[in-house]
Amino acid sequence: MMKKKFPLQGIKVLELARVLAGPWAGQLLADLGAEVIKIESPTGDETRAWGPPFHGGDSSAYFQSTNRGKKSVIANFKNKEDCTMVKNLAKNADVIIENFKVGGLINYKLDFDNVKSKNPSVIYCSITGFGQNGPYAERPGYDFIIQAMGGIMDLTGESNGEPQKPGVAYADLFTGLYSVIAIQSALLERQTTGRGTHIDMSLFDTQLAVLANQGASYLNTGISPTRMGNSHPVIVPYQKFDTQQGPIIIACGNDKQFKNLCIALGWKFYKAKEYLTNKDRVRHRSSLITLMQKHMSALSRDDTLSKLQKAGVPCGPINTVAEALTDAQAMHRKMVYEIDNQAMIRSPILFDTFALKYKRLPPKLGEHTIEIKENLNRNTFWNRNH
């Protein structure tokens, strides 16, 4: 089937954001076909220097991972000409993403109220650590701090070990995704009303929201959940087990899967009354896991995984990043692709009738400044009346 235009083709996005949450949102919008102009200070987004590794000596792999599909324009907001250029872009943008401190853009008349007065249909998304109001609103927001304050670190790590952060910027990435959901919803609503809106996104709010079942557990019991390593608080067995060749993950989500696991491996203790149901297994977690691990340690990893997969038992190896990106499923789904011979990880979104836009590498600092300035001067860029 011939795929149609990109889903967000024609949408103009002005990104006044740096580091991760805002740029992550901007990159996804670019993948979906929006035209994204990234405004950078003369020294550039600080993630350009967050390495090694670096790509071509210009920017880090970190920057490359979150800025594909955009154009880069250098602007010093303290320079009147540069500030006027950005305001001209804002006047005709469909979407603005910014992550300045609360009130940080007022002096440049690039805050929501000032932009809205010239562009009443603008979708203006502000991303901060703690939101636009509240006792912490003035604080800077960094993912690591948000993870610590938002509860996820206390849930991550071994039960007898220290709190741990996940291996990626968890709160930033989720906030970027929630921001795109909010932006798309606002764009859809604007088609009916013609009105723009101000979106107030907070890393702290997002981190609390994605506590999910753990947050609900506290609200229902008044007891704060604690970290359990690789075990699940309410499903057993659902954790890591060690085989002769290394660890595997087994995740039995129901009683039938547990029975199939035992039959596949020749175990009969699934018939014991203390292990019949998940509720029983949670109650007798310690004895069951000890028994399972004793048997598992004598088994071959690959043979065990093969038997369990044939029996329909959810299981898998613990891959390195390299193994994950070169896994047969990842290769089949073409999760890694190239733009001008540079390997990148694609967006996980696939449409049957729409394509995603992977045509532009992450930009060099200021790569498109002259082009856009010249077009603005000719009144041929982002001019709705042109």
Q: What is the DSSP letter of 168?
A: S
Catalytic residue check, 172? yes
Q: What is the DSSP letter of 265?
A: T
Q: 263: exposed, middle or buried (C-beta count within 10 Å: 0-12, 13-18, 19+)?
A: middle
Q: Residues, the chain, total?
A: 386
Residue 116 is which amino acid? K
Chain-centre distance for alpha carbon 231 = 24
Long-range CB contacts for residues 192-200, cutoff 8 Å, separation at least 24: 194/120, 194/121, 195/120, 195/121, 196/116, 196/119, 196/120, 196/121, 196/122, 196/123, 196/124, 197/123, 197/124, 198/112, 198/116, 198/124, 198/126, 199/123, 199/124, 199/125, 199/126, 200/126, 200/131, 200/132
Q: 240: exposed, middle or buried (C-beta count within 10 Å: 0-12, 13-18, 19+)?
A: middle
B/e letters for 287-308, b = 16+ CB within 10 Å, e = fewer, are: ebbeebeeebeebebeebbebb
Q: What backbone torsions phi and psi does residue 14 show, to the nearest 5 degrees?
A: -105, 115
Peptide bond into 317 cis (omega under 30): no
Closest CA to 251 of 315, 312, 169: 315
Strand, helix or coil at 82? Answer: helix
Q: What backbone torsions phi and psi does residue 39 show, to the nearest 5 degrees?
A: -90, 125
Cα dihedral across residues 21, 23, 29, 31: positive or negative: negative
Distance CA 108, CA 113 (A): 12
User: Given 172, 205, 280, 303, which residue is catalytic?
Assistant: 172
Q: 31: exposed, middle or buried (C-beta count within 10 Å: 0-12, 13-18, 19+)?
A: buried
The residues assigned a catalytic role are 172
